Structure 1
Amino acid sequence: MARTDRGSRVIAAPPASVYGALLDRDSLEVWLPPDGMSGRVEHWDPRPGGGFRMVLTYLDASDNPGKASDATDIVDVEFADLVPPERVVQRAVFEADDPSFAGTMTMTWQLTPTDGGTEVAVTATDVPPGIDQADHEAGIASSLANLALYVEATN
């Protein structure tokens, strides 16, 4: 059965600033990797139908084996829909030999103006069963916290 994971956070910045961070290669490398990981974008094409390839490296791989290698996760992401400054929809495919990580996960980043700035709601659908739900939702929350720190510092 298809699984959906979620996370949300209010960021003290206007939607245009948050949207900009979602579509800027350098900022994405800073805020997207969750705690305990670093990230590097290998390919970048920020348009509908374009996308990026990100290599995520565990800072301590001893308790976190990667999907692509002992210390890394590699994900190919397609920009399925871009609606400035309201929504970014991504289709993500992990590089892995384990079939429990196979399939295309859709990540929708919905940006809604609020009195405090922008509510960012992330919905991940068709999450591969090999991805632990609690770990994934903690990773989403961590990336949202990183996004808030990044955007709020640059505003």
Structure 2
Amino acid sequence: MSRTDRADRVIGAPPAAVYRALLERESLEVWLPPDGMRGTIERWDPRPGGGFRMVLTYLAPSGSPGKTSDATDVVDVAFADLVPAERVVQRAVFEADDPSYAGTMTMTWHLEEVVDGTRVTVTAEDVPPGIDRAAHEAGIASSLAHLAAHVERTG
């Protein structure tokens, strides 16, 4: 059965600034990792059909639920659609031996201009069943909070 997780947040910046942060390697490494993780991008090709490979490392690996290893989640992301200041669609595949993490998850970052800035709505479709819903939604919300802090600070 297909599962969809969502989160949204208003960010005090225009859609163009938020869109830039979605497509800048250094920015992604700063804001995308959720609380308790850090991220390193190993491959970067920011265009439709391109993508990136990110290694997410748990800061406190003891007892961490890593998908690739005890301390890491490795994800290959393809850019399926890029619409400036409007939408970024990513297809993410986790490296994992556990089949409950298999499959391609589609992450859509929709940007909507609002009075206070930009409403960013993240929709994750076809979420692998091994990913806990509450933890995933908390992780997306954490990434959105980091994105807001980053964009609002750097403009």
After TM superposition, the score normalised by the length of structure 2 is 0.99
Using the TM superposition, name which of 65-74 and 14-23 deviates more: 65-74
**Match for residue 154 of structure 2?**
154
Deviation at 1:147, TM superposition (A): 0.1
1:2 match: 2
Aligned counterparts of 1:101 and 1:147: Cα–Cα separation in 2 = 25
Alignment of 1:94 with 2:94, yes or no, is: yes
Counterpart CA distance in 2 for 1:63 and 1:12 is: 36
Q: CA deviation at 1:62?
A: 1.5
* 1:63 shift after superposition: 2.8
CA distance in 2, matches of 1:61, 1:154: 30
Percent of paired sites with the same residue: 76
Structure 1 gaps of 5+ residues are none
Q: In the alignment, which residue of structure 2 is the partner of 1:61?
A: 61
In structure 2, the residue matched to 1:114 is 114
Q: Which runs of 4+ in 1 moved over 2 A?
A: none
Cα distance in 2, alignment partners of residues 64 and 123 from structure 1: 25
2:68 is paired with a residue of what secondary structure?
coil
Which string of whole-angstrom CA distances, capped at 9 and with x for unpartnered residues, describes residues 90-127 of structure 1? Answer: 00000000000000000000000000000000000000
Query: Could you tell me the TM-score, scaled by structure 1's length?
Result: 0.99
CA distances 1:36-84 after superposition (whole Å, capped 9, x unpaired): 0000000000000000000000001113131111100000000000000
Q: Distance in 2 between matches of 1:123 and 1:139?
A: 13
CA contact (8 A) 2:63 2:70 kept: no
User: Following superposition of structure 1 onto structure 2, how do residues 1-155 of structure 1 map, counting pairs within 5 Å?
Assistant: 1-155=1-155
